Structure 1
């Protein structure tokens, strides 16, 4: 274990004592949010990012340790362990390298090499490789068997014996860990990842055409971007693309005249003729180089060359390609999962509108627009359905119903889902706002607050509507109307509403269905947990799904907390949590600091100060002669206090500084202030966009290659990574994140295909299509974007607009 701790410390670049402390806490059941927030003293200030990395690597290294022990035991039981092998096994840094070393000793079916060894041919193989001057055919005569063995193995001819030599040597070399690792590393650096259209596929087929940029594509495998690799792998899984690993140069023909006897004639006897040495691939040359052998025209060299060729073509080519493709896929999936996680974090931590009355509109055409009003606490207070679109076209009647709801409930914010008919429904909301502004109450200034409208992502709303929790939360409400209520609540508090939905259903990932699903789920769950605990949760308002994300609270305990609240009324203090069945001292320690109670018996319960440190606050109160309520928010006074005066053996200076920071801004929310993008008047459709227009929009999704921006025209535009800033940007998230409000300039619009190219380099004339260095990009529809459609954008060689457009189409999810 000490070795693991030392390795983790080196990888994360912290001290071993910090790692040891964190491991002890994790093993003791502490969560990452709790350790990062309330055990800084113990871990030396490790943050949540470092702790997540440590947690993942700790699991991997422990698995590696256990597998290493099993391998050593297996080889030892076979009586084949040597000091050198043991040292190599103990030093193997990865599971793959460990398995490479174990391969020769792994129990497997009877191979041709093993059959040849059982027939006693191994000494001949060793002799010929050690001394290629020996004549293979002549030497093989002594190993020819008079008849087949009982098992039916046939070594009754010179050719069969020499084939046995080939099988022995090729199998030995293919199981040589050093040779295999060298070959694998060399091919990773030098090999090309190549794809082509599968024979028989129709290029005009829409499903096939999505992969047009990969019909004749190759790129150094070590430098293939995540989205391109996953696009090719998807094409292969759909049997549209053929993929292979190729070398960057054509095979090298080594022509050499020779008068030496050929070891293998057609009839197995030696013949003498002048010939050219057959073509040798670069991979075979690499194997020969690693073996320290070269063809010098000696008697056995032709045989050895064929053994080398057999090693590559039969034993290693496919397995090495498979290993490197697995490495590429694993790395690409890691990037895709990170993109999803980063976008999810941005979405969950988006600015909340707060306690405002919201009218939620779930757009629809034939089935109508579903309407829900939620009050300032998020409670559903009214529902309706209006039919402003086809086939009824009851525009005025719909406005009348919506205006009545706004007046009755004091609506001051409208949330519009971004699905089908969103653009038309957004226009309905605009007309509603104009109508409300002309109402007598508004004209007389009688308290009617100006109404704002916001288009929000409805991804996952249908999943929530049909969920068991939604039916418990709104038992007497139609499934379709629950979606409208969810859309409204997303504006009030995105975090509280989105935790009710499986993170994978929120739709801010790229190629999310092509990646390791368990790893994706694990990563996204960690993001949700970190976000919930960084913001804090109102104990007397939170739903079961929200509470279950709090550090230390399982779904069962979260339900018990809500049951206690329903039976006994609001929690008056954090200490009341200990009255909940199933919530003991350990769970209380983990969760209490992240739960907030507003208006409770102790003002500290609304802060991030953990109950275990309340005695420290009492010392501060005694020093200042103030009550808690008087001290909270008094930044000028708190800044004069010296943290070291209140530190003790259990809670040091770091903890005291955190306490003072919480008292300065009690109940602070780390999320940004709520703002609404101001869409330009008269710009309501993609046809209204003109090149050069400067608009304001909301970033709806971010990928490594660029950011999608909602301009209020029902088609998201794409700001390519090269157009985000007047500097080189490697990753779009360096500049923008989901939910940001940005100003963009229209570069080009393709109305027919509903694509919009944007730039954030305002005032810079955009490069024309086809110009040298043109790096432009294209938008995708909101529906495509919601599925992560941009993942395949940014073709490897083409920069023309039409090519990049084609790339985006349908390859994302």
Structure 2
């Protein structure tokens, strides 16, 4: 079984079988993906973390598939119905769905009408009439009429009842034909339409209903529906705002006889699969009814359900990937570093909460000021904030982007101007920071342990300040789903979303590395190999014994054995420790290799670290051995060239326009700077500091053709944009990064501006120029954003 899985994984991921086997052996042995990707490149021949994550996920699925396959084979075998052909078909099935299709006729289920008819002995008549349509059904049925009802009330005492039994037997048999069902699904996935309409009785002017306006009269080929539109329709249906259904391609066929219903294309495909056609033979009318019954009663709803399930699963995969990509970008955003930061959590009536953290992130002071309504104590607020800045040497101000953030940003701007007059040499900057999840952190058990005597609201301000210092270290304290960089996150599979986001956090933490002597429990628990309980034990050891002087001391921590040390040590950094290598990404298991390099270079490690020109004169092949080959040696030398390097970008600040505080201040053609707050396949949302993100549609990201917005931008990027159009009433801002673009004319037809029609051709398959589709797609994207928020 394993060899079969290895072959399939190798084919899917496009790697060799020996690489798959090596990776699976390591994973089964308890190794983490970050550890394998970083320190076992020789074993896997260089598989990276993306390939390993894909392999890990598919391995779990294929193992579940094999377990289900074995259970199905055993069940059918116990029934004495397992033929060589059926066994071969089940063993060749490549998905759980295919296995279940083949198992359907043999699955134990409640007593059906078809079973009742078979028990009454009518199956020979059904076989006979289908085999020879020249037979007259009513004449042949006479021999199968029962004299009285059965013990369970089954009534086959008349010819029509017997012929109904024929219909039930044949339609049930055909509906359980795996090849037929699979063919219908494939055909409808390619040709069927997803259609949605406003549910009866719903007021389209209601604010909650209006969010789904783009789907009041909408259809699109189901196989080409983008993720965000599919999830919007399913959300609307779940809220009873939309009615959604699968619509078959239309047919031009004429009825077989005048007055009879026109057979659908689905019925035609069933007949074609069976090798039957209506030729006006005596049994053909009955067989036509059986075919119609097969589709309309047995297969239409189940096929719609199956395709809706497939559409939802595909859409969820895309949504989860978008969320995980945005989360990765946010976690790996540029850190401001060890600087004194003042965090401002904006509020109006409750005041602006203030927290100052020192260069290590320790909370050193708090306050609350009331610059806004109802107190409007602007001068008093400035005085308090200025005192805090001078007292603690603040050089960065982090402002949460919630309610009153723009007004609070103006307060910070006035504060900077005042301090610059008092002390011209003071360099103070202000930055608007996403506060998504800050309230979740503030009320968490960990926050109460970190800041036990601090009010919950002030903890949020401290978190906002720390996010600027080190986004990764602070955001790992929050459930990834609460960070706010996903859409429709409440509509997707929560288990799969959680697993994917946890993997992203783990990869990011281990890519950057963790300072062993300052890291919090949440941050340490994301390190390869460290469970939450072991992370707590590490912190307890640190509190009892002081800072770790070497990585080797980790083995003194209770519960941290050799295996955990192997998995975690390379990702933990000790600055100023006994061994300079402990501050690098060089794993302790390869320190002996470094010793050989030092011997060859004739230099101590301190003189070799950071000396790229000297390291480049050494050939990696000279230091490789059976355990650690050339790949590992090259990684060691790269680490020695830039010891403890941080893969994150340099810190930069977006400059908001001081004259733009509200969406009403925006003017078409205006050039602005903003921060990318969220990225989806259809475009990027940009925070301009006006409480409403603007959308740069994918067609407006670049002068070249772009299929996915992430090709151009990522969450956290600072970008320059031009305002294309503003719809104040619907709170929609259309932007472009093509700064030579012309704003949309206000007298242009509505379908070329913000309107997003439901007609299938407007959603179309994308054969034309991208710019032509942009305006309606922009409006659609805005609607998805609104519908996707909770």
Structure 2 equivalent of residue 54 of structure 1: 55
1:142 aligns with 2:156: no
- 1:358-369 maps to which residues of 2 (within 5 A)? 358-369=341-352
How far, CA to CA, are the matches of 2:350 and 2:92 in structure 1?
65
What is the distance in 1 between the residues matched to 2:381 and 2:735? 35
Q: Which residue of 2 aligns with 1:452?
A: 429
Partner of 1:628: 605
Name the residue aligned to 1:582: 559
**Distance in 1 (alpha carbons) for counterparts of 2:787 and 2:691:** 17
Distance in 2 between the 1:226 and 1:804 partners?
11
User: Hey, what does 2:88 align to over in structure 1?
Assistant: 87
1:768 aligns with 2:745: yes
Three-state SS of the structure 1 residue aligned to 2:679 is strand
1:75 corresponds to which residue? 76
Could you tell me how far apart the structure 1 residues matched to 2:728 and 2:397 are?
28
- 1:414 paired residue among 397, 405, 417: 397
| Cross-structure match for 2:539 | 562
Alignment match, 2:568: 591
Residues 1:403 and 2:364 are matched in the alignment: no
1:311: which partner in 2?
294
CA distance in structure 2 between the aligned counterparts of 1:602 and 1:778, rounded to whole angstroms: 64
Residues 267-320 of structure 1: CA deviation (Å, up to 9, x unaligned): xxxxxxxx5543111110110011010000000000000000000011100000
Q: Structure 1 residues 106, 247: closer, same or farther in 2, change over 3 A? A: same
Change (3 A) 1:797 1:606: closer
Mapping for residues 54-453 of structure 1, pairs under 5 Å: 54-250=55-251, 252-256=253-257, 275-439=258-422, 442-443=423-424, 445=425, 448=426, 450-453=427-430
Aligned to 1:799, the other structure's residue is in SS state: helix
Deviation at residue 750 of structure 1 after TM alignment:
3.0
Cα distance 1:185–1:476, how it changes in 2: closer, same or farther (>3 A)? same
Q: Distance in 2 between matches of 1:321 and 1:16?
A: 38
- Match of residue 724 from structure 1: 701
8 Å Cα contact 2:754-2:775 kept in structure 1: no
1: CA distance, partners of 2:403 / 2:755: 22
Query: Residue 92 and residue 157 in structure 1: after superposition, are their counterparts in 2 closer, same or farther (change >3 A)?
Result: same
- Does 1:693 pair with 2:694? no
Structure 2 counterpart of 1:666, from 619, 632, 643: 643
Q: How does 1:404-803 map to 2 (within 5 A)?
A: 404-439=387-422, 442-443=423-424, 445=425, 448=426, 450-768=427-745, 799=776
Equivalent-residue separation in structure 1 for 2:788 and 2:541 (angstroms): 48
1:21-59 deviation line (CA, Å, top 9, x unaligned): 000000000000000000000001000000000000000
Deviates more, 1:758-767 or 1:680-689: 680-689
Cα distance change of structure 1 residues 796 and 560 upon mapping to structure 2, 3 Å threshold: same
Q: How well do the aligned residues superpose, as a CA RMSD in angstroms?
A: 1.9
- Corresponding residue of 2:25: 24
Aligned mates of 2:34, 2:618 — CA distance in 1: 27
Question: Structure 1 residue 679: deviation in Å?
Answer: 2.3
SS at match of 1:768: coil
Distance 1:52 1:318, change over 3 A: same
- Given the superposition, is the C-alpha separation of residues 637 and 47 from structure 1 closer, same or farther in structure 2, using an over 3 Å criterion? same
Contact 1:134-1:300 within 8 A present in 2 as well: yes
5+ residue gaps, structure 1: 257-274, 780-793
In structure 2, list runs of 5 or more residues that go unmatched.
757-770
Decide whether aligned partners of structure 1 residues 805 and 667 sit closer, same or farther in structure 2, where only a CA change above 3 A counts.
closer
SS across alignment from 1:661: helix
Question: Does the 8 Å CA contact 1:718/1:777 hold for their aligned counterparts?
Answer: no
For 1:434 and 1:224, the matched residues in 2 are separated by 52
Separation in 2 of the partners of 1:182 and 1:503? 40
Q: Distance in 2 between matches of 1:732 and 1:122?
A: 59
Matched-pair contact (CA < 8 Å) for 1:748–1:757? yes
TM-score (norm. length: structure 2): 0.96
CA contact (8 A) 2:340 2:395 kept: yes
CA offset digits 1:229-255 (Å, max 9, x no partner):
101101111111111101131573334
Give SS of 2:30's match.
Answer: coil
User: What CA distance in whole angstroms lies between the structure 2 residues aligned with 1:193 and 1:748?
Assistant: 30
Deviations 1:159-181 (A, max 9, x none): 11101100110000000101110
Q: Tell me the number of residue pairs that the alignment of Structure 1 and Structure 2 aligns.
A: 775
Task: Write the deviation string for residues 593-615 of structure 1: whole angstroms up to 9, x where unpaired.
Answer: 00000000000000000000000
Per-residue deviation at 1:639?
A: 1.1
Q: 1:744 to 1:660 in 2, by over 3 A?
A: same
Structure 1 residues 17 and 333: alpha-carbon distance in aligned structure 2, compared to 1, 3 A threshold: same
* Local SS of the residue matching 1:427: helix
Distance change (3 Å), C-alpha of 1:203 and 1:520 = same
* Distance across 2 between alignment mates of 1:24 and 1:193: 44
SS at match of 1:453: strand
Secondary structure, in 3 states, of the residue corresponding to 2:684?
strand
Q: Distance in 2 between matches of 1:687 and 1:328?
A: 39
The answer to whether structure 1 residue 40 and structure 2 residue 17 are counterparts is no
Question: Measured at CA, do residues 797 and 739 of structure 1 come closer, stay the same or move farther in structure 2, by a change above 3 Å?
Answer: closer
Measured in 2, the distance between the counterparts of 1:797 and 1:317 equals 36
* SS of equivalent to 1:476: coil
Measured at CA, do residues 79 and 795 of structure 1 come closer, stay the same or move farther in structure 2, by a change above 3 Å?
A: farther
- Match in the other structure for 1:784: none
Distance (whole Å) between structure 1 residues aligned to residue 772 and residue 497 of structure 2: 26
Q: Distance in 2 between matches of 1:322 and 1:302?
A: 29
Give me the whole-angstrom Cα distance separating, in 2, the residues matched to 1:633 and 1:568: 32
Provide the rounded CA distance (Å) in 1 between the counterparts of 2:315 and 2:249: 22
Sort the Cα spacing of 1:796 and 1:695 in 2 relative to 1 into closer, same or farther, 3 A: closer
